[in-house]
Amino acid sequence: MRLSAVIPVYNEEDSLRELHRELTDVAAANDYQIEIIFVDDGSKDGSWKVEQELADSDPNVNAIRFRRNFGKAAALDAGFRAARGDLVLTLDADLQDDPAEIPRFLEKLDSGLDVVSGYKQVRHDPWHKVLPSRIFNWMVSTLTGVRLHDHNCGFKCYRREIFDEVRLYGELHRFVPVLAAARGWKVGEIVVNHRARQFGQSKYGFFRIFKGFLDLLTVKFITGFGQRPQHLLGGIGLAFFAFGGLGMVILALWWVLSRIPALGLNPIHIHETAMIFYVITALLLGTQFLMVGLLAELITAQNSHGQAPYSISETSGYTKLPDTTSSDTTV
């Protein structure tokens, strides 16, 4: 079995040699053919020098260095593109993820899953990192329907084919299981051993929850409405139109009825009522959402020559699996 371990690195020079030793020991003990890919995300310490030394001394180690810090998602994407293994494992470089858990990840994959996410049930992190993580995990599970205890955990294992269909950008690295599940891949999790940090300091804090929430909205839109944006934007627009139209009808009836002497109602001047401004605003917003929805549909149609909006599991009778990266695929 060929396994690619993709490890983003940012100022972790003290832990890299020990991490390399643990990974190679686990691979040797279980007869895995392992490829270790360090992706240096613009480290400012001596991490790159250590990575070069490991690559020079071990033919199974490869290292990629960014010109500056581009973020964890970019580092993972570069590692995924370089990986040659049948399975891709991701873990952090700070030694908090225990390589001894790798056989359990592979055993779980053998049960029929395509993505296995780690669950740090017992965490050795400060409260300002644990609390926002728990809030974030609840939001992701509730909004996406992908029920994982720890979406934030960087210790995960994937089948290599997933990354032919899932691309990362921005800060979407923590949502790979959600993006994979949206295309039909099977996702599960295992409880993993989480070790206390020995070197350096955490790169994340409480305020990442706000950025994470914005990323979550992006993922929800991509997975739920990526191929039909008008269903969301147009639906919101129609709701505003309904409110504005109903308001117009009420104002018109009110104006007519107030001018019937027999009813004894005080005549109104529509332009002097606050409601007219709410109604007009609702109609304008409805128009804007509908127009934005139409533009989004046009953009989606123009880009439909890229990745197909479906994922093929297997075929029968084909000599070659149809290419799902093109909209011209015929099945």
| pLDDT value, residue 98 | 93
| pLDDT value, residue 213 | 73
Higher pLDDT, 289 or 215: 289
| pLDDT value, residue 206 | 55
Q: How confident is the model at residue 304 (pLDDT cuts 50, 70, 90)?
A: low
| pLDDT value, residue 323 | 53
Structure-token pair, residue 330:
């015929």
Question: What average pLDDT does the segment 240-269 reach?
Answer: 83
What is the tens place of the pLDDT at every residue in 16-67? 999 999 999 999 999 999 999 999 999 999 999 999 999 999 999 999 999 9
Q: What is the DSSP letter of 194?
A: B
Higher pLDDT, 137 or 207: 137
| pLDDT value, residue 303 | 61
Higher pLDDT, 117 or 197: 117
Give the pTM: 0.71
Question: What average pLDDT does the segment 66-90 reach?
Answer: 90
| pLDDT value, residue 309 | 54
Question: What average pLDDT does the segment 257-281 reach?
Answer: 80
8 A C-beta contact, residue 5 and residue 37:
yes
What is the tens place of the pLDDT at every residue in 211-236? 777 777 777 777 777 667 787 888 88
Q: How confident is the model at residue 101 (pLDDT cuts 50, 70, 90)?
A: very high
Question: What average pLDDT does the segment 274-294 reach?
Answer: 87
Question: What average pLDDT does the segment 75-101 reach?
Answer: 92
Q: Assign domain 2-225 to its CATH architecture.
A: Alpha-Beta Complex (3.90)
Q: Measured in whole angstroms, how far is the alpha carbon of residue 304 from the centre of its chain?
A: 21
Give the DSSP H or E segment for 181: helix 176-182
> What's the CA gap between 140 and 152, in Å, rounded?
10
Laid out side by side, the sheet with 187-191 consists of: 61-65, 33-40, 2-9, 87-90, 156-159, 115-119, 187-191
CB-based contacts of 200-204 (< 8 A; 24+ apart in sequence):
200/11, 200/12, 200/14, 200/15, 200/94, 202/125, 202/126, 202/129, 203/10, 204/129
Q: Where are the domains of the chain?
A: 2-225, 229-302
Mean pLDDT of the chain: 82
Q: How confident is the model at residue 327 (pLDDT cuts 50, 70, 90)?
A: very low
Q: Which of 256, 299, 77 is nearest to 179 (CA)?
A: 77
Structure-token pair, residue 152:
């934030």
> For residue 170, is pLDDT > 90?
no
Q: Around Cβ 23, how many Cβ atoms within 10 Å?
A: 22
